[in-house]
Amino acid sequence: MGNVGMPAIRTVQQHILESQRKFSPKATGEFSWLMSGVTLATKIIADHVRRAGLVDILGAMDVKNVSGDIVQKLDVIANETIAACLGYRGNVGIMVSEEDDEPRILQELSESAKYIVLFDPLDGSSNIDVNVSIGTIFSILQRREEVEADKVLDHILQPGYQQVAAGYVIYSSSTVMAYTTGHGVHMFTLDPSIGAYRVCRENVRMPASGKTYSVNEAYRDQFPDGIRNYLEWVKTDEAGGYVLRYIGSLVADFHRTLIKGGVFLYPPTQKAPKGKLRLLYEANPLAFIAEQAGGAATDGVRRILDKTPTALHERTPLFIGSKAEVDRVMSFDHPA
């Protein structure tokens, strides 16, 4: 009986181990152990999202988080799921969530507990009830060796260029994870039949330009002059046919921009002059991914990854996407 040809199955864990052998031959396996906690948590969250309408976990709670957003039931489940899956990994010293007032100190930072994990457990959660794509965003830092272990904020408040890894998971028609460790961006699709993320795209490159812009134009009158001028220009014949695509879920809007090209804009407004998106949990990880894919990310004044955060829940404007399109937005006067 002849051999039956079977397609090779490469999981995210296999991909990480292969990358470590290539780029970090002295790796101890600590990072892959950490990432297995991230993938486990997001698989559990994906299952909750899929069954949300059946088990009464849709809807909002009568409480706001530290950022002032209404907390959804699934926000709490996602937050605690990630905390539980990472809490026993042993090499994570600190976890920081958009949903929590303060960092969770698991153990004193040391050589054996050197990782700091920051995350937005369920981005776009206000869209849960209407079945719009939502996601999880994560960022991974290492302790600063020159800083005393008990100086917790000094370890956490690092500029984005010091991230050792970042990624997101989008829960939609399929569950897809994208991540980078500074050696390109790679994507994986969750295969429910085997319960594992399988490699679907490696070394993803964002198109250098694109005719799609993504912004909530309902706030147009509150935007800076330069952004209003850009929004006028994209509608002209000179612009050559731009189209607006805005979902209102950051992960979903960024995922489309990463694959199709274009630009996502979340400018400052009169009511939020410092911007709305969180630097540590949203802008930094997505900026790392964007740059690794050949794109760009700025707050309108400086590169996102060069910003040194001063607070856990610091907000920022964000202009992210194809480099040519981000540059074009910036060319319309001063946007911030």
| pLDDT per residue rounded down to tens, the chain (336 residues) | 445 555 578 899 888 888 877 877 666 678 889 999 999 999 999 998 887 655 555 545 445 555 555 566 888 889 999 999 998 888 999 999 999 999 999 998 988 899 999 999 999 877 777 778 999 999 999 999 998 988 999 999 999 999 999 999 999 889 999 999 999 999 999 999 999 999 999 999 999 999 999 999 999 999 999 999 999 999 999 999 999 999 999 999 999 999 999 999 999 999 999 999 999 999 999 999 999 999 999 999 999 999 999 999 999 999 999 999 999 999 997 545
Rounded distance between C-alpha atoms, residue 219 and residue 284, angstroms? 24
Residue at 7 is within a domain: no
Residues 159 and 305 in one domain: no
Q: Where does a domain end: 178, 201, 224?
A: 201
Residue 14 has what pLDDT?
Answer: 87
In the set 122, 250, 280, 312, the catalytic residue is 122
In the set 98, 291, 314, 325, the catalytic residue is 98
- Is residue 230 helix, strand or coil? helix
Residues 218 and 132 in one domain: no
Q: Is 122 a catalytic residue?
A: yes
Q: Is 80 a catalytic residue?
A: no
In the set 34, 99, 118, 314, the catalytic residue is 99
Q: Is 129 a catalytic residue?
A: no
CATH code, domain carrying 309: 3.40.190.80
Rounded distance between C-alpha atoms, residue 259 and residue 266, angstroms? 19
Residue 200 in contact with residue 189, Cβ under 8 Å? yes
Residue 120 has what pLDDT?
Answer: 95
Q: Is 120 a catalytic residue?
A: yes
Residue 237 to residues 89, 240, 333, Cα–Cα distance (Å) = 56, 5, 20
What the block records as the tokens of 79 is: 């937050």
Residue 257 to residues 27, 93, 336, Cα–Cα distance (Å) = 33, 33, 22
CA angle (104, 105, 110) in 5-degree steps: 145
Residue 79 in contact with residue 99, Cβ under 8 Å? yes
Residues 179 and 235 in one domain: no
Residues 38 and 151 in one domain: yes
Phi/psi at 94 (5° precision): -135, 140
Residues 175 and 56 in one domain: yes
Q: Where does a domain end: 153, 168, 201?
A: 201
Q: Where does a domain end: 168, 201, 234?
A: 201
Residues 74 and 187 in one domain: yes
Total tally of structural domains belonging to the chain: 2
In the set 34, 75, 279, 291, the catalytic residue is 75
- Note down the domain range covering 275: 212-330
Q: Is 141 a catalytic residue?
A: no
